[in-house]
């Protein structure tokens, strides 16, 4: 066979067959470059301004398409893709990956559920039917990865109805066992429980709440002994979950007595209803690291001083109340006695300082406090 004919056939074969699919190394480099682009504003040694990100990424993907055919991505290679949250940020990246993901999601394989999950980066795909399809399949593989956390967060923050979330929550907890990723358990607690299945969500069936609480409880108990990293944080989370706030009751009293501390329904009572009592209130949020660190300290103080009413206010769920209290940073601690605000401070307190504060409040001469308030009002 002549050399000319050989090269002609080779070119013909390449034309018919097309480019190869991406190698594992190429996908790892893709992920690394996109991470650098998002977090360092740098890609392939070049810097770009924040407003140039979409155009820079689009050009980068065009160059990648010249190296390999992303549509030949395999199920095994899904683990090398950029994180779900990064794909979610860029529609061009979604469009580039979605044909492959749609093809892979139809395969009869447990790993196909990962492809279905990645498709949820497109907001229009976050439907009840798609969540149900993922949960109906074998989603254990998904929950064993850090991407499982993003799935839980996406499910509970989606715009589907409360009733549909309740149904899907029951399906979700059925897949939770001692193999799930630790981040999945944290997401179940903070995005699932505190924001969705909290006991004060009265419209949810009690059975749903009980199932989810039991599952989270079991997952924590199974995973904590085997933890190597973040064990202390995990143990604090677990203690927080055992506390009164997670159970929907005041630390030292029933929640209905101070409904506004726990719900945003609007039918709350005033602090003046607790005249004669000392009330300590912690303004916090689930995403706030210092708040979570302060949680066990607050809990310990509540157990040590049963005569004092302790309450927690989630500033995300209780935005109007937080605004009324002029909360600008968290955690913020406020204390009241006889319906009068006697202390306010931003930042977490160590246990010794919190105990000292409680003793100082106990020793206050309230007649003197009222006199000072009256004098201040006259001065105005």
Centroid of chain to Cα 254? 28
**Tell me: the pLDDT tens digits for 159-179?**
888 778 888 887 888 888 778
- Model confidence band, residue 247 (pLDDT cutoffs 50, 70, 90): low
Is 300 contained in some domain?
Answer: yes
More confident site: 183 or 252: 183
pLDDT at position 13, please?
Answer: 42
| CA–CA gap between residue 17 and residue 142 (Å, rounded) | 33
Is 225 contained in some domain?
Answer: no
Burial of 11 (0-12, 13-18, 19+ CB in 10 A): exposed
More confident site: 379 or 124: 124
More confident site: 92 or 208: 92
- With a cut of 80, say whether residue 152 has pLDDT above it: yes
pLDDT at position 264, please?
Answer: 26
Residue 187 CB partners (closer than 8 Å, separation 6+): 148, 149, 152, 153
Residue 313 CB partners (closer than 8 Å, separation 6+): 261, 281, 282, 283, 284, 321, 322
Is 342 contained in some domain?
Answer: yes
- With a cut of 50, say whether residue 236 has pLDDT above it: yes
Mean pLDDT of 203-221: 76
- Model confidence band, residue 267 (pLDDT cutoffs 50, 70, 90): very low
Cβ pair 158, 165 in contact under 8 A: yes
Partners of 280 in beta bridges:
310, 335
- With a cut of 80, say whether residue 276 has pLDDT above it: no
**Strand pairing category for 278-284 and 309-314:** parallel
pLDDT at position 206, please?
Answer: 72
Is 162 contained in some domain?
Answer: no
DSSP 3-state of 337: strand
Is 112 contained in some domain?
Answer: no
| CA–CA gap between residue 152 and residue 116 (Å, rounded) | 14
Cβ pair 143, 153 in contact under 8 A: no
φ, ψ of residue 342 in degrees (nearest 5): -115, -5
φ, ψ of residue 160 in degrees (nearest 5): -70, 165
- With a cut of 80, say whether residue 111 has pLDDT above it: yes
Cβ pair 71, 77 in contact under 8 A: no
Mean pLDDT of 361-365: 82
Residue 216 CB partners (closer than 8 Å, separation 6+): 173, 176, 185, 188, 189, 192, 193, 241
Is 169 contained in some domain?
Answer: no
pLDDT at position 10, please?
Answer: 42
- Model confidence band, residue 98 (pLDDT cutoffs 50, 70, 90): very high
**Strands of the 309-314 sheet, one edge to the other:** 309-314, 278-284, 332-337, 340-346
Domain that holds residue 263: 255-379
Is 180 contained in some domain?
Answer: no
- Model confidence band, residue 189 (pLDDT cutoffs 50, 70, 90): confident
Residue 356 sits in a domain of what CATH number?
A: 3.40.30.10
Report the domain count for the chain. 1
Is 332 contained in some domain?
Answer: yes
- With a cut of 70, say whether residue 377 has pLDDT above it: no
pLDDT at position 194, please?
Answer: 62
What is the pTM for the complete model shown? Answer: 0.57
**Strand pairing category for 332-337 and 278-284:** antiparallel
Could you give the residue numbers annotated as active site?
Answer: 288, 291
């Amino acid at each position: 066979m002549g050399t000319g004919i050989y090269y002609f056939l080779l070119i013909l074969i390449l034309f018919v067959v097309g480019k190869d699919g991406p190698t594992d190394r190429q996908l790892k480099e893709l992920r690394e470059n996109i991470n650098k682009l998002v977090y360092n504003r740098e890609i392939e040694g070049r810097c770009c301004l924040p407003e140039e990100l979409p155009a820079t990424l689009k050009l980068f993907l065009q160059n990648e398409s010249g190296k390999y055919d992303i549509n030949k991505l395999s199920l095994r290679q899904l683990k090398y893709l950029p994180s779900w949250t990064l794909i979610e940020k860029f529609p061009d990246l979604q469009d580039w990956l979605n044909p492959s993901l749609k093809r892979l999601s139809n395969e009869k394989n447990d790993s196909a559920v990962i492809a279905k999950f990645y498709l949820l980066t497109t907001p229009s795909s976050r439907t009840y039917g798609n969540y149900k399809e993922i949960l109906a399949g074998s989603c254990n593989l998904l929950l064993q990865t850090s991407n499982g956390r993003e799935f839980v967060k996406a499910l509970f923050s989606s715009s589907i109805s409360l009733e549909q979330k309740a149904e899907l929550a029951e399906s979700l907890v059925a897949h939770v066992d001692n193999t799930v990723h630790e981040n999945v358990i944290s997401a179940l607690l903070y995005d699932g429980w505190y924001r969705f299945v909290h006991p004060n969500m009265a419209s949810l069936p009690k059975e749903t709440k009980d199932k989810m609480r039991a599952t989270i409880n079991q997952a924590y108990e199974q995973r904590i002994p085997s933890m190597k990293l973040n064990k202390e944080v995990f143990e604090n989370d677990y203690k927080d979950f055992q506390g009164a706030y997670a159970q929907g009751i005041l630390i030292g009293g029933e929640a209905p007595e101070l409904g506004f501390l726990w719900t945003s329904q609007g039918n709350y009572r005033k602090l003046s209803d607790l005249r004669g009592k000392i009330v300590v209130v912690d303004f916090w949020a689930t995403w706030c690291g210092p708040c979570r660190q302060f949680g066990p300290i607050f809990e310990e103080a509540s157990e040590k001083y049963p005569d004092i009413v302790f309450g927690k206010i989630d500033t995300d769920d209780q935005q109007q109340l937080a605004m009324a209290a002029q909360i600008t940073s968290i955690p913020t601690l406020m204390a009241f006695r006889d319906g009068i605000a006697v202390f306010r401070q931003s930042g977490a307190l160590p246990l010794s300082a919190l105990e000292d504060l409680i003793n100082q409040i106990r020793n206050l001469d309230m007649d003197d406090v009222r006199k000072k308030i009256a004098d201040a009002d006259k001065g105005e």
